[in-house]
Amino acid sequence: MHTFLKKDIKQRKELLLAKQKRAGQVKTGKVSETVLKRSVFKQIKRRRSEVMLHAEHGEDCTAFQVAPDEMVVLSTDPITGTAQELGILSVHTTINDIVTSGAEAIGILVSILLPENAREIVLKRLMGEMESVCNQLNIEILGGHTEVSPIVKQPLLTITGVGKVKKGELITTKDLKAGDELVMTKWTGLEGTAILANDHMEELTTRYTKEFIAGAKEFLQEISVVKEAHIAKKVGVSCMHDITEGGVYGALWEMAAASGIGFEVELERIPIRQETVEICEFYDLNPYQLMSGGCMLIGTSHGSKLVEALKQEGIPAAVIGRAIEGNDKVVLREGERFYLEPTKSDELYKVQ
């Protein structure tokens, strides 16, 4: 065989192997629905009768019965999108999951991995941030694990939230019903905007004023959804879902997919702040697929009543659409219909 032919075959094999390798890789951020179903949920078997809420796509919590009328609710989250305000974000993110299930939060378990060059002051700061949030929410740090590891480049926190709920009061993502109105609280991209403002203030001030960016950083003060979850539960809801990675589009998809139905939402009704618009334009990001911790998506038959109840407590909210029969996931924009696809990765990771 000629040398050039051998070389050509070798190159073809290398290209094929590279293509196969790329096909097996998962992208930064949440893994896709397809990968979750194929490589995660297919491996999980159900064995315990006490478990009332099993591992499923779109569900951020699990729940198991501990007494005839009471259940324990658990949720776990890592924080990987930022090194700033890590302790604050980690606690709120996990407790937001707990309260959207209708549960009362009790405390958290904390796993902290520190890089080899980390100073003790970093650990002390993280613990101080977490304890300050726990004090605000009247919950406890129940225990955990702290370790220095050469495999991490920056502090990595994984938080497990613990809560309790009366039997019959558990709220799940999969209980959205056709005809329910979809209520969204606060504004899209809330968390991602704050993270970008915190992590990239120097770069952003080449175009915007320091005061403008400082206002975006203050979005973190709105990161908790405990108050709105309590209000929504009193008004009456079918389901609640906190909007995190993948933004409002990702949350809409997860809620509808978990419930086996579709939705129609109007883009113009989705609340958005000017700070988010500007920062997303600066980095060429889609604000509707940007991390939105601090926002909730709620399915309810009392949309207007819920919006009014939330506004009376100073929480911005809007009815952005409704759940529908079938599987169509539709966004209406200036009278045109667009079919939503699963969010592949949060927009934040394009910049981080």
310-321 residue pLDDT tens: 999 999 999 999
Would you state the pLDDT for residue 272? 98
CATH number of 173-350: 3.90.650.10
Q: What does the pLDDT read at residue 52? A: 83
- 62-65 long-range CB contacts below 8 Å, 24 or more apart? 63/101, 63/103, 63/165, 63/170, 65/167
Residue labelled with tokens 């019959």: 168
Domain ranges of the chain: 34-166, 173-350
Q: Looking at the domain 34-166, which fold is it? A: 60s Ribosomal Protein L30; Chain: A; (3.30.1330)
Per-residue pLDDT, 59: 77
Report pLDDT for 61: 85
Predicted model pTM: 0.85
According to the model, what pLDDT value does residue 3 have?
Answer: 40
What pLDDT is attached to residue 83? 62
Position 8 scores a pLDDT of 47
Residue ranges of the chain whose pLDDT lies below 50: 1-10, 13, 17-22
Amino acid, single-letter form, for residue 312: Q
pLDDT tens string 27-79 = 666 777 788 778 887 888 888 988 888 877 767 789 999 999 999 999 998 87
CA separation for the pair 316, 306 (Å, rounded) = 11
Q: Express each pLDDT in 132-143 by its tens digit.
A: 999 999 999 999
